[in-house]
Structure 1
Amino acid sequence: MTGATPANPRLRADARRNAEQIRRAAIAAFQGRGLSVPLEEVARAAGVSKATIFNRFGGRVGLIEAVIQEVVADELDAVIDHTRSLDDAGARINHYLTAIRDLQYRQPTTNDVLLQDYPHSRQLMDICRAAGEIYEELVEAGHASGALRPEFTVDDLHALIVDNALALKHGVLPPRDAYDRRTAYLLDGIRAQRGRYRA
């Protein structure tokens, strides 16, 4: 009795190579322009057909999930980890808002994640949830230390970040110096006392 014919090793190697080319093309496209880049462009950059993306990854959500860690999740994790490593509550608030707004400006994919543009992706929703879990920590510690205005809430912090995501995603990207100046205004506005700590 003859066994099943083994799969052609060359075909397996071609499939792996195609998948890696697609991944690299997707990372380059998503990092610069967000997660809604047309799949035709990703396919063209990878030297494959759009159908190959669907065959290898099942479509846009599968492709996003295959690359999202490298595209933006590692940077988001680093922002959160460094924020939590700081001893002073005021410094944590300052670092988090400065760093997350910087990431929102540099990496459009950050805004896609924070706005939950792909709710069918459990992985993206998990990343968004992790990004939001720190809000309560920051506000609670900020109130306890006197670094934050007492009326400033977790919902306020969430709204500031989401509003910024919407403005960057659907508006005109401001010059970087103007954007950073507005970050400083924002931080000044939520502090309990101006000049309580220096950025």
Structure 2
Amino acid sequence: MHEQRQRADALRNADKIVRAAIASLREHGPDVSLEEIARHAGIGSATVYRRFGDRDGVIRAAFQTYFAEEVEPLVLAARDADDAGRALTEAMTASVETLAAHRALLRAARMSGAFTVDIAARFMGPLGVVLARAQRQGVVRRDLIVRDLAAILVMALATMHPGDPGCDDLRRYLALLLSSLRPADDELPAPSARSHHILDSSPASRQIDF
């Protein structure tokens, strides 16, 4: 019984730390210290180090929690929608909006190595299903591939800048990029043969000023 209580306390503390990290990053920016995260959580720094190893460990756990709760449900819901074309654009729009709202977490996550092949697959896999359905329904270009969607996300996020706190430019250029998904008679140039995960490895994603 005592061991079960200890495990339950440890899980609660870990959850507090992760949520404190998400909140602290949003409030203080990507360079927030582990000590500030611990203070926000109301837990000693030694406990945080013991549970997560270092600051990067906290950031990775925070990003995984954020992704599982705020991003992954968007693309999974789109996968089951009747109107695949609308679901695709709504999922892309909602994903960009939440990513833009957590730009400090994204920047810290990139620096800590939180973007993994697993994270990319969990995002791209369901979107690929929606894209295929939308193509069968004839509402998006037939020559699109799922990595094009990731590129659109990265390009939209790259339009954010400090002079536009309301993200008006982001919304404008996202709408422009999404309009390119519509069926067209022309054919896109072929993509490169190299397989990659644009969300975590492309030069453009590394240059985004989160």
Same fold (TM over 0.5): yes
Instruction: Return the offset for 1:146.
Output: 1.8
1:152 to 2:148 alignment: no
Cα 1:143–1:24 shift into 2, 3 Å? closer
1:144 counterpart letter in structure 2: R
Deviations along 1:28-59, whole A, 9 cap, x unmatched? 22455676533232134345554442123211
Change (3 A) 1:32 1:189: farther
Q: CA deviation at 1:77?
A: 2.4
Determine if contact 2:156/2:173 at 8 Å carries over to the other structure. no
* Residue segments in structure 2 that go unaligned for 5+ positions in a row: 185-210
Establish whether residue 186 from structure 1 lines up as the match of residue 177 from structure 2: yes
Output the CA distance in 2 between the equivalents of 1:173 and 1:151: 36
Matched residue, 2:131: 139
Distance change (3 Å), C-alpha of 1:85 and 1:108: same
1:183 partner amino acid: L
Asked if 1:78 is matched to 2:68, the reply is no
Distance in 2, Cα, partners of 1:63 & 1:178: 32
Query: 1:1-199 alignment to 2 at 5 Å?
Result: 16=10, 22-31=17-26, 37-47=32-42, 50-68=45-63, 70-108=65-103, 111-112=106-107, 117-119=111-113, 125-166=117-158, 168=160, 171-172=161-162, 174=164, 175-192=166-183
Task: From the superposition, tell whether residues 93 and 71 of structure 1 become closer, same or farther in structure 2 (CA, over 3 Å).
Answer: closer
1:98 shift after superposition: 1.4
Distance 1:139 1:108 in 2: 26
C-alpha separation in 2, matches of 1:87 and 1:71: 27
CA distance in 2, matches of 1:111, 1:36: 12
Q: Deviations over 1:9-39 (max 9, x none)?
A: xxx79x8586565344223224556765332
Aligned to 2:208: none
Gaps (5+ residues) in structure 1? 1-6, 194-199
Deviations 1:147-186 (A, max 9, x none): 1123333232121123334555xx4373333322322222
Counterpart-to-counterpart distance in 2, 1:110 and 1:82 = 24
Q: Secondary structure at the match of 1:190?
A: coil
Per the alignment, residue 196 of structure 1 pairs with none
Aligned residues: 177
Normalised by the size of structure 2, how large is the TM-score? 0.64
Please say if residues 89 and 142 of structure 1, whose CA atoms lie closer than 8 Å, have aligned partners that are also in contact: yes
